[in-house]
Structure 1
């Protein structure tokens, strides 16, 4: 066929949101239109229980709608149906990141999205906080190399995450390495290790300290009013001689509900072993020391040679908690 006669098939759905609606129409499912011949715009309402933003996001992702077409659809819905709650741009609706952090690693490049980010993106942590019957979760990690090309040494090494107790939750990519060789092991796992340690701060240490202060466990481990006052005074005094590596001052226990992860980390790794010695009961304090030693061993590269000991200490901690 002569080159002049060849024409690439036009994607008729690319710039025509109306044709997109005819093909896969989400509007009928989430909007109520007036019966009869009435065309009054103020009679068009959302169906009960519908959320047009989330419905549009699911529809766009399910059918791989191009951003330019979705943007045209949003403008149409805002102008014609007066749905002012909708944004004018598809990137705003879907929440497309404005930047992607890709860093050099070894002979290739590394992208890290994080454990906590993935769980929040799937609304898992939000729902988990509402479920009072779940006290722990199991995270399954999978790592393997993928050669996408037969004629190139380039390979991908994704780190995938799956939550065991919720099988309907989709697998999540928390990191991806791309390069001509295998990733350097220590750098490859460093981000996951520190991300996991952050969950120790805002997870385990937060739960323990809130339980001791507010009595969520039992009266034997609950701090008395005198204990809380003493600890608060000591926390304030510790800020005066705070070492330079601790950038945030730690607040008294009356502000515990507003503590940041760095404050829980300071308490776990620096202040807790000293301040809790004469307050917690012997077995409870010993169990806390298991957590302190294990977390310290995992937090500093000089102590990673004791990783097997840290594993045993964590097992003891969770067994006795």
Structure 2
């Protein structure tokens, strides 16, 4: 939320307070000074009206749509303004993590003038106080349920889908420590409806001092509900179905959930049947063409060396091999790319691939110099290689896909740079929804070449599980779509949010359950709405438009921001790379005034010509202003300086 939005919301909330104060004949004070640093956020529009369920289908699960958090003004006698003020205060408290003690104290002050407000913060936030916690698998466990967890999403979208529609769901299992000074950890079961939401929901939550000691107990509720959902469930008078299409885990969690050998075992690869080779204290997987495992063979348990224990998910229709794709975030970003930077800058690997301190400093200076050119879609700006041990997965992804081909060129030895480019181009193809299927086989060949060449450069003992996993990545993309659809990024972000819900060490599971109940109404599904912001009157306007036009500095479409600024104004549209100088709304359509880069050349030619993927070196910006309707397909571009020219990469990641 930008400054203008916060300011407008604050003014609206303060206006409501003043209105109520006048209505009870109290003196109205100037609240602006006191509340200027406490912006109030008002939920936009609310949730669409509930869909009423029809007669229950005896063969399906029937889901009630009424929730405890719903607030009916007519039943309580509240006016719309009173309800809006309650919602505003509630949303403010949730957004800024205000404690219940502080919120209750604030309500006690406000009730002097606004007696309709509740006394207790729990009443305002509708905190859930009744819930079932089981002691299983060496810890405490609460199961929210799949349908119950997605209730708000279903209420919002059920009228968009026909009877009998199947929702494709992705699950995630992972562990996260809660405190630095204790071994208490969470093992949540997260889920996400593909195509409807970019934010996961909690299906189940385990808390203990270790990971769950019994896999069957941990998964029993989930397996039971998945078996029931085979018959469908009724919501909004329609019958819907849920199918688990993929399960995202890092390597240790995947081995635990599937009940198989760890990635450090001889038969640890869950995609192919090769036996690993133990070289210099490392388990390596040197074969790139070993026979693949199949879902049928896994269910039959044909490879006894691979299985450790029975997996309860075998009792569902989940594919146990193809349904567990490699997690792009852990495998590539935190695995391969991090290992490459360690080999270049650290004290591991052969001397011929290591960089001198002067070379490392040169790369770092190039990275830091790009800060002002990184678009708004990147949560983090480039940092020096000396801080690489603190880099997050998004920073390694940024180096691999965008900044690396520019800052590493001419510094890395030629063979090392070419090896890096094999990985960079292959991942760029697989991450791009336009190329991931069409050029899938080409990307696979690049990844196989990368793994083979990697072994020759850095040593055969370096071809460990993460490096070997690259040869299976293209086949996962064929089944599940581009890499962002099989990425741990949204789940990793949400795990951080769950951790922040814990305010004290005592009974963390109960705290999270209560905080999640307060946030229920804030969950919503994603849309492709167009948002125009920052109106102005100073930009260039085409003379052909005779009527008044509306000008804006910012346009946001599905989370992608186009803005009139040097780092966010570059897009590719109609085969052209352009710099947008003004955004215009006219006749219900969006237009842009732009200047075109008249010269385009390839940024690299190995392992293929970069122009085939829309990656260019551009120069010679036209002085002539052009005008066009902003229709799809258009792509936001990352534009990085390269001498007196620019390297341009179409933005390929979506999360």
The two structures have a TM-score, normalised by structure 1, of 0.52
Q: Specify the SS of the correspondent of 1:110.
A: strand
Quick check: 247-256 or 133-142, which moved more? Answer: 133-142
Equivalent position of 1:309 in the other structure:
442
Are 2:281 and 1:132 aligned? yes
Q: Which residue of 1 aligns with 2:115?
A: none
Structure 1 counterpart of 2:452: 319
State the Cα distance separating 1:205 from its structure 2 match.
Answer: 1.1
Q: Which residue of 2 aligns with 1:202?
A: 334
CA distance in 2: counterparts of 1:228 and 1:165, whole angstroms:
47
**C-alpha displacement at 1:283, in angstroms?**
1.6
> Are 1:110 and 1:177, in contact at CA under 8 Å, matched by a contact in 2?
no
Cα distance between partner residues in 2 of 1:293 and 1:221: 21
Quote how far apart the aligned CAs of 1:295 are. Answer: 0.8
Which residue is 1:167 aligned to? Answer: 306
8 Å contact kept, 2:380–2:394 = yes
Query: Once the 2 structures are TM-superposed, how far is the Cα of residue 271 of structure 1 from its aligned partner?
Result: 1.0
1:118 aligns with 2:289: no
1:273 is matched with which residue?
405
Q: Normalised by the size of structure 2, how large is the TM-score?
A: 0.27
Q: How does 1:280-291 map to 2 (within 5 A)?
A: 280-291=412-423
CA contact (8 A) 1:114 1:175 kept: no
2:173 aligns with none
| Cα distance in structure 1, aligned partners of 2:375 and 2:406 | 16
The equivalent position to 1:217 in structure 2, one of 303, 328, 349, is 349
Assess, with a 3 A threshold, how the Cα gap between structure 1 residues 166 and 177 changes in structure 2: closer, same or farther: closer
User: 1:111–1:177: 8 Å Cα contact kept in structure 2?
Assistant: no
Once the two structures are superposed, the pairs formed by residues 51-130 of structure 1 within 5 Å of their partners are: 92=208, 95=212, 96=218, 108-110=242-244, 112-116=246-250, 117-119=253-255, 124=262
Residues 125 and 258 (structure 1), Cα distance of their counterparts in 2 relative to 1, 3 Å cut: farther
How far has the Cα of 1:273 moved from its partner? Answer: 0.8
State how far apart, in whole Å, the 1-side matches of 2:407 and 2:282 are. Answer: 32
Structure with a larger share of its residues in strand? 2
1:251 is paired with a residue of what secondary structure?
coil
Answering whether residue 426 of structure 2 is matched by residue 294 of structure 1, we say: yes
Count of residue pairs brought into register by the alignment = 215
Q: Verify the 8 A CA contact 2:345 2:354 in the aligned structure 1.
A: yes
* Structure of greater relative contact order (alpha carbons < 8 Å, 6+ residues apart): 2
Tell me if the contact between 2:264 and 2:283 (Cα under 8 Å) persists in the aligned partners.
Answer: no
Deviations 1:92-113 (A, max 9, x none): 466448x97999xx95322644
- Unpaired stretches in structure 1, ≥5 consecutive residues: 1-66, 72-84, 146-158
Contact 1:294-1:311 at 8 Å conserved across structures: yes
Deviations 1:179-227 (A, max 9, x none): 9xxx9xxxx979836x246411111111111100014222221111111
SS of the residue corresponding to residue 377 of structure 2 reads coil
Task: Quote the Cα distance in structure 2 between the aligned partners of 1:234 and 1:142.
Answer: 46
RMSD between superposed Cα atoms in Å: 4.8
| 1:192 partner SS | coil
1:142 to 270, 294, 306: 294
Residue 141 (structure 1) shift: 4.6
Q: Tell which deviates more after alignment, 132-141 or 250-259.
A: 132-141
Corresponding residue SS for 2:448: helix
C-alpha displacement of 1:243: 1.6
Alpha-carbon distance between aligned partners in 2 of 1:174 and 1:196, rounded to the nearest angstrom: 23
The answer to whether the Cα contact below 8 Å between 1:118 and 1:174 also exists between their aligned partners in 2 is no
Aligned to 2:569: none
- On the 8 A contact 2:329/2:393 being kept in 1, the answer is no
User: 1:256 Cα shift?
Assistant: 1.3
Change (3 A) 1:70 1:227: closer
Structure ranking higher in helix proportion: 1
User: Can you list the C-alpha shifts for 1:3-60, whole angstroms capped at 9, x where unaligned?
Assistant: xxxxxxxxxxxxxxxxxxxxxxxxxxxxxxxxxxxxxxxxxxxxxxxxxxxxxxxxxx
Aligned residue in 2 for 1:228: 360
Q: Where has structure 1 moved over 6 Å in runs of 4 or more? A: 67-71, 99-103, 120-123, 171-177, 188-191
CA gap of 1:208–1:172, structure 2 versus 1, over 3 A, is: farther
Q: Alpha carbons of 1:171 and 1:208: their partners in 2 closer, same or farther (altered >3 Å)?
A: farther
* Whole-angstrom CA distance in 2 between matches of 1:205 and 1:238: 19
